[in-house]
Amino acid sequence: MNYGNIRGVPIPISRIVFGTATSKLFAAFRSVYGGADDFDRRLTDAFELLDMVYAAGVNCFDCADHYGEEPLGEWLEARGLRDKVVILTKGAHHNAWRKRVTDFDILHDVHNSLAKLKTDVIDLYLLHRDDPTVPVAPIMNALNRCFDEGKLRVFGVSNWTWQRMEEANEYAFKHGLEPFRVTSPNFSLAEQVEDPWGGGCQSISGESNKLARAWVAAHGMPVFAYSPLARGLFSGRVRSDHPEDAKEYMDEFAQKGYAYPVNFARLKRCEQLAKEKGVSVPEIAMAWIFNQRDLDVYALTGTTRAENLAKNIAAGEMKLTDEECSWLESGEHD
């Protein structure tokens, strides 16, 4: 396992980050609140999964105010691992009634996350969405209040444009405040052609997002890439010569975002290079994001199978040449 370091986080962080938005963790979440008679079994299943992930060398866990926090908090307390684990959680997600990127909601969600995670400090805290109509001042002031109170070690954003991040950080620097230090956009070999969830999802993949990648690289901002395998496109089950596989193995949101000819062409090149190297398609696709020389990348993955997790870890250690990376993306050689 490869590890990286982020200023403010006291321990090295595994490059593979476990995403807790899985069925076992959701089942355990319902059990924590008494939604199931088989509470012990569901929580045991969740603990066994988290034990397996941690034993493989993963020490960073991704969750949010609406998934993963409760079972993760129970597990950390039961195992006594809080000081050995990096918690990444998110808040200020919109709901069905309104957008929630306000100072009130940020303070509320931080408080709730601390309670659910059974901790007094969050290592990496991200705003899950943005609302461009809200000025950056109250947002940065609220986050800095939590930072000054010792509740957050590092904070950043998910699904913000680079222009809004720049605006927020300029405000922070001007007023002597802590800036955003990490970002979590969509990033994979596949181009996110359409927003899978219908608004607010930001990607730095593809030619159209070249400026976003350049800004992130220029500011040395670590990238916590979600959907690094394009939500199943590079799982190894979808074949480039059978595009109809996408309907069977990818949900409607994944199809909306990634099931397009430009990405099937990239999948075909992945298949070819995987065959040449004697590895799997997901290993090549995952290795591609880790071999972007200008970006400091961590990959959010939610696999529940030990063999797939091992492949993700191996991909994090695989070296691809600049020429191979360029060819996988564009079909051209540098």
**Cβ pair 303, 228 in contact under 8 A:** no
Task: At 53, give phi and psi (nearest 5°).
Answer: -65, -45
* Catalytic annotation, pick one of 54, 67, 258, 260: 67
Dist CA 45 CA 300 (whole Å): 21
**Catalytic annotation on 67?**
yes
Dist CA 146 CA 132 (whole Å): 22
**Cβ pair 288, 295 in contact under 8 A:** no
Secondary structure of 15-78 in HEC code, one letter for each residue? CEEEECCCHHHHHHHHHHCCCCCCHHHHHHHHHHHHHHHHHCCCCEEECECCEEHHHHHHHHHH
**Cβ pair 334, 290 in contact under 8 A:** no
Q: What is the dihedral of CA 28, 33, 34, 36, to 10 degrees?
A: -30
Residues labelled as active-site residues: 67
